[in-house]
Structure 1
Amino acid sequence: MSRTVYVNGDYLPEEEAKISVFDRGFLFADAVYEVTSVLGGKLIDFDGHAKRLERSLGELGMPMPMSRDALLQIHRRLAQENDLEDGLIYLQVTRGAADRDFAYPAPDTPQSVVLFTQSKPGLADAPQSRTGIKVVTVPDERWGRRDIKTVQLLYPSMGKMAAKARGADDAWMVEDGAVTEGTSNNAYIVRDGVIVTRHLGTEILHGITRAAVLRFAREAQMRVEERAFTVEEALSADEAFVTSASAFVMPVVEIDGQRIGTGAPGRVATRLREIYLEESRKVAV
């Protein structure tokens, strides 16, 4: 059975969904996106994703296409129509369709809004959360505004494939000797009980899961440092992990072929995953 997707006001079977070949998301990656997790049929941290969507659009001079409440209702309807218990809902907003030109089209050009679901049964119980993942490092060669969640994802995709070619699960990107982030997640190390993750700026995405995890860590009296860390620091760390909307808190047990800590998921990452899932489920909508 095909999925029901949302395209510009219509709920359609996926095989009937269409976007113009002149859409600027297709031609220029002139678009932003969000991915919201669903656990037990409820949305995790929806408000955070909606706020970041609004910020990303604003940085590109685009308005919100509709109110947050309207977006919430679309998310809920798609989850219901697709019987989505555990999984993800993808949202993309583009500047719309116009004749191909590097200059932006007229401000009144209708935006394109697309949403679809991805079913992932047992999302919160991923086996890798118990074994950890392996990462490799690659140069960070993306554009400079990584704080805007655009659909310009070719280089992260290349990084992911480079990791797979080297027998790893993901890549951490490195700029001027310091780790920025993973291909689709924020990166952390733990040294002497202190959680270290890169400070916010234009170099990394301002992760919604990152914000929640750091808040929970501080509430649990864990020490946190928001600063750049080097690959050398990561290799000598006691443990490492990543966070994202789809992976939650995921331990990292190997970097560039070198075992991190004991080579097994660490105590801090394991506890933060438990706290994040427990607290996020309490306030899911």
Structure 2
Amino acid sequence: MIVKGFINDKLIDCGNAQVSAYDLGLNRGYAVFDFFRIVNGNFRFLSDHLDRFINSIYLAKIPNPYSKSQLHDKVLELQAINKVDNGYIRITLTAGTSLNFGSLAASTLIVLTGVSGANTKTDYTEGVKLISKTHQRSFPRIKSTDYFFPQMLHEELQAANATDVLYATNFITETSRANIFCVKDGKISTPQKNILEGITRKKIVMLEPSIILTDITIKDLYASDEVFITSSSKELMPVVQIDNQIIGTGKVGQVYRNLHTQFSTFCKQ
């Protein structure tokens, strides 16, 4: 089956997709995107993702020719064309073609589908490892295509058998692809600022109003009873080690298990 996608309003074969060599997304990294799952034929929190995508476009000051309803219809059309029951949609808007690599013109919209499958069952039953690095994303509220820093760490992450890199300065913020939560004495906390406000994070905070939004240090994290991360692709995933520090007992904790069950039930409603 030939996988289809959209570039602007044109339906294309993804294997032959083309954008201009002068596109600012390519030459300046000037682009935003969003990513959302399809589970059993249904989109997971589609409206929330489109709202965040449009907000990222606005904050990035990229001209946006599409309304939310137009994006919604395009996403549903592509899902039907590619017959995706379980997978994802990735939607990207670049600042478009610029012959002088600066001036803004017509933006470039790219919509793609794919099949999820990077996470393993043991990631959830045994937990994963993170490594920490001193880093802060330049514009954390924008879901941009700038993954330069974590991509440079790809080999180091593999060598450490780590799932992701945790960003920290004076306080921790997030991983390169997820939000983070910690549990101490039954109380759940998550960083309150300098983060991308994840959709799964938003739902978890809604489901468990007692969660504390606060500043958290790396030492706080090391001393936690439990740690877990959240994202659209991972949902909730337990963390049992950060750097050389084992978290709690080194096993998946009960608070995480309860929240994971609660979230799974919520998603089926």
TM-score, normalised with respect to structure 1: 0.88
What is the rounded CA distance, in whole Å, between the counterparts of 1:76 and 1:126 in structure 2?
29
Instruction: State the Cα distance separating 1:165 from its structure 2 match.
Output: 2.3
Alignment check: 8 A CA contact 1:159 1:170 kept: no
What is the rounded CA distance, in whole Å, between the counterparts of 2:162 and 2:267 in structure 1?
29
What is the rounded CA distance, in whole Å, between the counterparts of 1:262 and 1:2 in structure 2?
48
Gaps of 5+ in 2: none
- Aligned with 1:135 (options 121, 125, 130): 130
- Aligned with 1:174 (options 165, 168, 190): 168
TM-score, normalised with respect to structure 2: 0.93
What fraction of aligned residue pairs are identical, expressed as a percent?
A: 25
Partner of residue 184, structure 2: 191
What is the rounded CA distance, in whole Å, between the counterparts of 2:34 and 2:155 in structure 1?
22
What is the rounded CA distance, in whole Å, between the counterparts of 2:222 and 2:14 in structure 1?
45
1:241 equivalent in alignment to 2:241: no
Deviation by residue 1:98-124 (Cα, 9 ceiling, x = unmatched): 21333x32xxx221000111112697x
Alignment check: 8 A CA contact 2:64 2:107 kept: no
Alignment check: 8 A CA contact 1:160 1:169 kept: no
Amino acid at match of 1:140: H
What is the rounded CA distance, in whole Å, between the counterparts of 1:37 and 1:84 in structure 2?
10
Partner of residue 158, structure 1: 152
Aligned length, in residue pairs: 269
What is the rounded CA distance, in whole Å, between the counterparts of 2:218 and 2:136 in structure 1?
16
- Aligned with 1:211 (options 202, 221, 243): 202
Alignment check: 8 A CA contact 2:54 2:68 kept: no
1:116 equivalent in alignment to 2:112: yes
> Deviation above 6 Å: which 4+ runs of structure 1?
none
Instruction: State the Cα distance separating 1:170 from its structure 2 match.
Output: 1.5
What is the rounded CA distance, in whole Å, between the counterparts of 1:251 and 1:81 in structure 2?
35
- What is the Cα-based RMSD across aligned positions, in Å? 1.8
What is the rounded CA distance, in whole Å, between the counterparts of 1:224 and 1:141 in structure 2?
23
Alignment check: 8 A CA contact 2:36 2:49 kept: yes
Instruction: State the Cα distance separating 1:81 from its structure 2 match.
Output: 2.1
Instruction: State the Cα distance separating 1:233 from its structure 2 match.
Output: 1.0
Instruction: State the Cα distance separating 1:276 from its structure 2 match.
Output: 1.9
What is the rounded CA distance, in whole Å, between the counterparts of 1:37 and 1:141 in structure 2?
27
